[in-house]
Amino acid sequence: MNRLQGKVAVITGGTSGFGFAIAELFAREAATVAMAGRNKEKGAAAVEEIKRVTGLDARFIPCDVTKEEEVKNLAETVLRVFQKIDVLVNNAGMLIRKDFETTTGEEWDEVMATNLKGPFFCCKHIIPEMIRNKRGSVVNVSSHISLIGKGDVPVYSASKGGVTALTRSLALRYAKYNIRVNCICPGTILTELNRHVFEQAPDPEQKLRDVIATYPLGRLGTPADVAYAAVYLGSDESSWVTGIALPLEGGYTAGKE
């Protein structure tokens, strides 16, 4: 269908999990994809896999989103190579699951730097190009717990709550330039980020069943679920959509029956 034909997309954390699923589907929908990440080996493998699956080219650009100079270089490299940026997907993130009282200031800073400062830097250096073109779409990957909170991951919850609030603020600030800013709020999805939570449980299979039982649709999400939402928000199909926090969580935040 080529829903992203002619668009250039930057996807952070694009070499695994949600990010790779988004990058692959964007490529299938005819976008030019630039993936950013810290691991060069993973980046090379991700590029080769997208070429193998889609027959299309993609590019990996090393970037630690917590470092502003590297983000600035990411934006400049993409513009030098592809001349424009139509879609920015802020996906890079990290999770620590630790008792709040024993969480250190350094751990707090690390989570905030990746999950919240990273999107700040990327928007700061990429949105000006969108302003020049008078169009663009920013898709932030937040979390369903940014909408409701969750007691066992307060630091992660705080960081993602910031992402959701930043999304709404930037949507208002840049609407006059025809730039849309939205976020996706996924529920539990098995990725490298959280797989250890299940693997380290006394009974991993029971832990998985217990978590699934909290979702009315009776399953966990998949990276593909996130990718399809990102394609919609990145495409012109959502041209009148901005400032939303899209719950993508099988009914979790709707309440209890």
Positions marked catalytic = 156
CB 57, CB 51: distance < 8 Å: yes
What's the chain's Rg over C-alpha atoms? 18
Give me the count of residues in the chain. 257
d(CA 81, CA 86): 14
In the numeric block, which tokens belong to residue 113?
């730097």
109 residue type, one letter: D
Non-local CB neighbours of 153 within 8 Å, separated by 6+ positions: 95, 96, 97, 145
The whole-angstrom separation of Cα 66 and Cα 210 is 35
DSSP 20-89: HHHHHHHHHTT-EEEEEES-HHHHHHHHHHHHHHHS--EEEEE--TT-HHHHHHHHHHHHHHHS---EEE
